[in-house]
Structure 1
């Protein structure tokens, strides 16, 4: 009986050929493309340090920054081994990171009517996460599809917030985030459904593109979440979107600064 920690040739495999570049890395490019998560997480934490200092419980944001590295670590392990346990760690780390983000940053204005406080919402999110975790063992092949569907709710929430905001920089950042997400999900679907085509032309790298593109989408998503959180939870400040190193650079890292007094967006 094969070990759940060892290479499995079953349905968890992706389009990239196995052990082409390394005898110990099953999918070479799918593994190393996760480096983008390790680069962007500390950059976002550093640039948004003003928000971390002003937040009532800055440790929350620190925990999220730490948690965002988990998908990168476990995704590397999964693509390195293509094991069953690697697949579950990869997918569950994403689920748990989303649970943390929803618990701490989901706007209270959108809570269900039966939920009155943030603490009650923590319990709701925790219960949902436990149930989802248990269900992920039932049909693991559906996990990735279910996780990607959560993006539609995040896009819907972004659209609702943009309707209340007139800041053109916010709208532009949201548009860039959606652009990267569309490119990312297109790469993911192409790798999953058109593998025969990419293997025929010897270009099976779209899952690697997915890792980089979804990281870029998160690079714009996180400052948007901070921007709206400041608007809701820190009314004495006005959030302002900035770009490092400069607005004029073709490649930038967005972040949020806080200004006084607050003016309604």
Structure 2
């Protein structure tokens, strides 16, 4: 295996881990290994860019840091597209490392407005941020030692991440996002079920002729992540209300009602005094 890696290089060496759809690789398109897993990354690219566009005035005038998690998620969508199209090791590592940095930069950006962070330690936020960045850098190096374990390791972030989402959503005192933790947990629960099903019972899906659970995971997880971004943007806007003159409200697409499948988006207006 090492000889193959050395002779071909990371950009050509096919990763040891492939998803269930790879049983049909290159069947749909001769240049794309896993077609469904590739094209379903489009929402991961588009949704965070839409979110950043809707927040552009706030980003420019109040908190420029908000743009970074959105850009990183869009970059992850591009990396995942490349990975599933080629199945090479480089694509896998960039895909997984970008997820790691999304999680950590998200924490760096939103920690000042999070309720769970003790008020008495607010003055130490710069130190905390640097600690997160240094830890993320260290973990990034570990990702190269056993790439096949990276995805499982990243899944462990689900536990503390779910706790933070639930706590912040319930303690934000914002009626418009009160149902967001429930929406996010349902979407993420369905997504992670698809992820594990694709890995653990692939033979069943191949027998049924539908090895596309990972593609469904992409769609569900992208919407769940987008909901998280919208929720924390609303929290950030509210917590920084003394720093700006914006009002924000949430609308839904395509229906006006808040359903599990509708996409929320923020409408911002600048107050005129």
* TM-score (norm. length: structure 2): 0.83
Out of 244, 247, 265, the residue aligned to residue 256 of structure 2 is 247
Q: Is the 8 A contact 2:197 2:213 kept in 1?
A: yes
Residues 184 and 213, structure 1, Cα contact 8 Å, conserved in 2? yes
Alignment of 1:203-214 (within 5 A): 203-214=210-221
Match status 1:35 vs 2:42 = yes
Specify the SS of the correspondent of 1:241.
Answer: strand
| More deviation, 39-48/128-137 | 39-48
Instruction: Please identify, of 38-47 and 238-247, the stretch whose mean Cα deviation from structure 2 is larger.
Output: 238-247
RMSD (CA atoms): 2.6
Contact 2:253/2:262 (8 A) holds in 1: yes
Equivalent residues of 1:188, 1:210 under 8 A apart: yes
Q: Deviation per CA, 1:158-196, whole angstroms, max 9, x where unpaired?
A: 222234245443122221121111111111011011111
Aligned partners of 1:115 and 1:169: how far apart in 2? 26
Q: 1:161: which partner in 2?
A: 168
Q: Following the alignment from structure 1 to structure 2, what is the Cα–Cα distance between the partners of residues 216 and 201? A: 27
Distance in 1, Cα, partners of 2:159 & 2:256: 29
Q: Is the 8 A contact 1:51 1:257 kept in 2?
A: no
**Worse-superposed segment, 104-113 or 116-125:** 104-113
Q: Contact (CA 8 Å) 2:97, 2:140: kept in 1 or not?
A: yes
Task: Give the corresponding residue for 1:187.
Answer: 194
The verdict on how the C-alpha distance between 1:85 and 1:115 changes in structure 2, with shifts beyond 3 A counting, is farther
Partner residue of 2:266 out of 247, 256, 261? 256
Tell me, yes or no, if structure 1 residue 97 matches structure 2 residue 102. Answer: yes
Distance in 2 (alpha carbons) for counterparts of 1:97 and 1:9: 23
Shift of 1:105: 0.9
CA distance in 1, matches of 2:223, 2:209: 26
Aligned pairs (5 A) from 1:1-265: 1-2=3-4, 3=8, 4-8=10-14, 10=16, 12-16=17-21, 17=23, 18-55=25-62, 57-58=63-64, 60-106=65-111, 107=113, 109-111=115-117, 116-235=123-242, 240-244=249-253, 247-248=256-257, 252-257=262-267
List gaps (5 residues or longer) in structure 1: none
Q: TM-score scaled to structure 1, two decimals?
A: 0.86
Partner-residue secondary structure (3-state), 1:130? helix
Partner SS state of residue 178, structure 2: helix
Deviation at 1:103, TM superposition (A): 0.9
Displacement of 1:46 in angstroms is 2.2
Counterpart Cα distance in 2 of 1:139 and 1:179? 31
Tell me the alpha carbon deviations over residues 15-54 of structure 1, each in whole angstroms, 9 at most, x when there is no partner: 0122211222111111111111222122212223353244
| Bigger shift: residues 163-172 or 67-76 | 163-172
